[in-house]
Structure 1
Amino acid sequence: MHLDLATTSAAHQAESVARLKDLGATPADVGQGDVPWTVLADPEGNVFCVLEPREIYRDTGPIAAVVVDCADPRAMARFWGEAMDWTLHEVGDDHAVLRSAKGVGPYLEFLRMTDVKTVWNRVHLDLMPYPGDDQEAEVARLGALGATGADVGQGDVPWKVLADPEGNEFCVLTPG
């Protein structure tokens, strides 16, 4: 799982990359080859991309997308679309794209990868039930969709840690 950062022009992309390097980011090679975006790693080694300007991301804010590597983009889009009630924008064998039904914020993108997940994700999603909803009922609803309980060493906390059908951890917070 990683973040894709949006830019508004080639100059903005170059400025963003320079600023992020000044903050401690380093170039990263994840086998991307010759691409128009820049792959960096933060000081703790978390990889992220600074994208070239793309019309689709012009109104997302600084985070264009949260990208999840997965074995089955269609199944993941089905699960997360129902889990969050987001709109499916694209789906194929190699990728799927969701976004809030209100058309705001970043996209959630699933990319087919052959690597097997072996460690917990340092980047994960936190889901906030709607005000007045019951956290336990939401956990049960997500379980019916295919989520399972997960222990990442969280101890006694007010949120619930679950894993999606491919083992990606996420949290269900207490309703606000």
Structure 2
Amino acid sequence: MALRPVQVNIKARDPLVVGRFWAEALGWAAYSPGVTTYVGPAGGLVWPDPVVVGVDVVPVPEPKAAVKNRVHLDLATTSVAHRTELVARLMGLGATPVDIGQGAVPWTVLADPEGNEFCVLEPREVYEDTGPIAAVVVDCADPRAMARFWGEAVDWEVREVTDEGATLRSAQGAGRPFLEFLRTPGGKRVPDRVHLDLLPYPGDDEAAEVDRLRALGATDLDIGQGDVPWTCLTDPEGHEFCVLALP
């Protein structure tokens, strides 16, 4: 049994605007098959995508709270010139610079049109084959504990674990981002605006997978979702995620 991360879920008051922003930012396409806007590689909607972790923008009535998201995306660049061009292009699309206390760092912190923070990284060899999304980054108190939970929860390999951070990635490598847990002061204060969606493999039992996650330390989450075909959970530090039903 195993689960695979298939998309990053972003809540938005205007999913079309935010979805189009992320499509332009990533060089992908925005698709609106229903109430959500899915962002994935151009050429037609394929879900689940066999390689990339997509972005699914879902409508909500509430604006983003005035606190930093505890989950964000890091974007990869291939050169200093590429980073400079990408930052300028993103700001032209509606991104804004954000000061989260990062100080003098070689990357650039921006926010999308609804205030969701993300980073445009300087070129790093480790991310040279990830595609446009270098990493999905999660703030946490205990990276080692997060690595234990998520290393069992999904079929990605734990690559590195220290007191300050932990890294996971699909064994299939190329085209896929890293999942990173960074030790960060402060705890979770508001519902997550950004979270991961997981999917069972064909032939696996969704209910059995959910039970397995509960045994690992996940907790059921009621956000008023009602009778839906997916299951909302939180990890041991309260980060929300969903286990989706197979198509």
* TM-score, normalization by structure 2: 0.70
Q: Structure 1 residue 10 and structure 2 residue 80: aligned?
A: yes
Contiguous gaps of at least 5 residues in structure 1: none
2:216 alignment partner in structure 1:
145
Once residues 103 and 39 of structure 1 are traced to their aligned partners in structure 2, the CA distance between those partners, rounded to angstroms, is 26
Once residues 67 and 23 of structure 1 are traced to their aligned partners in structure 2, the CA distance between those partners, rounded to angstroms, is 23
Of residues 156, 160, 164, the one that matches 2:231 is: 160
1:15 Cα deviation from its structure 2 partner: 1.0
1:151 Cα deviation from its structure 2 partner: 1.5
Once residues 244 and 121 of structure 2 are traced to their aligned partners in structure 1, the CA distance between those partners, rounded to angstroms, is 31
Contact 1:29 1:39 in 2 (8 A): yes
- 1:7-86 correspondence runs (5 A): 7-86=77-156
Contact 1:132 1:175 in 2 (8 A): no
2:240 alignment partner in structure 1:
169
Please tell me the residue identity of whatever aligns with 1:31. Answer: G
Once residues 112 and 62 of structure 1 are traced to their aligned partners in structure 2, the CA distance between those partners, rounded to angstroms, is 24
Of residues 191, 204, 218, the one that matches 1:133 is: 204
* TM-score, normalization by structure 1: 0.97
1:154 Cα deviation from its structure 2 partner: 1.8
Report the secondary structure of 1:128's partner residue.
strand
Report the secondary structure of 2:194's partner residue.
coil
Once residues 8 and 152 of structure 1 are traced to their aligned partners in structure 2, the CA distance between those partners, rounded to angstroms, is 40
Report the secondary structure of 1:19's partner residue.
helix
How many residues get paired? 176
Report the secondary structure of 1:43's partner residue.
coil
Contiguous gaps of at least 5 residues in structure 2: 1-70
Once residues 170 and 113 of structure 2 are traced to their aligned partners in structure 1, the CA distance between those partners, rounded to angstroms, is 30
1:155 Cα deviation from its structure 2 partner: 2.2
Deviations 1:57-90 (A, max 9, x none): 0000000000000000000011001100211111
Please tell me the residue identity of whatever aligns with 1:155. Answer: G
- 1:104-143 correspondence runs (5 A): 104=174, 105-143=176-214
Q: Which has the higher contact order (CA 8 A, sep 6+)?
A: 2
Once residues 59 and 100 of structure 1 are traced to their aligned partners in structure 2, the CA distance between those partners, rounded to angstroms, is 12
Please tell me the residue identity of whatever aligns with 2:198. Answer: L
Please tell me the residue identity of whatever aligns with 2:109. Answer: V
Task: Give identity over the alignment, percent.
Answer: 73
Deviations 1:104-141 (A, max 9, x none): 40000000112110111111100000101111111001
1:152 Cα deviation from its structure 2 partner: 2.0
Contact 1:133 1:175 in 2 (8 A): no
Contact 1:69 1:110 in 2 (8 A): yes
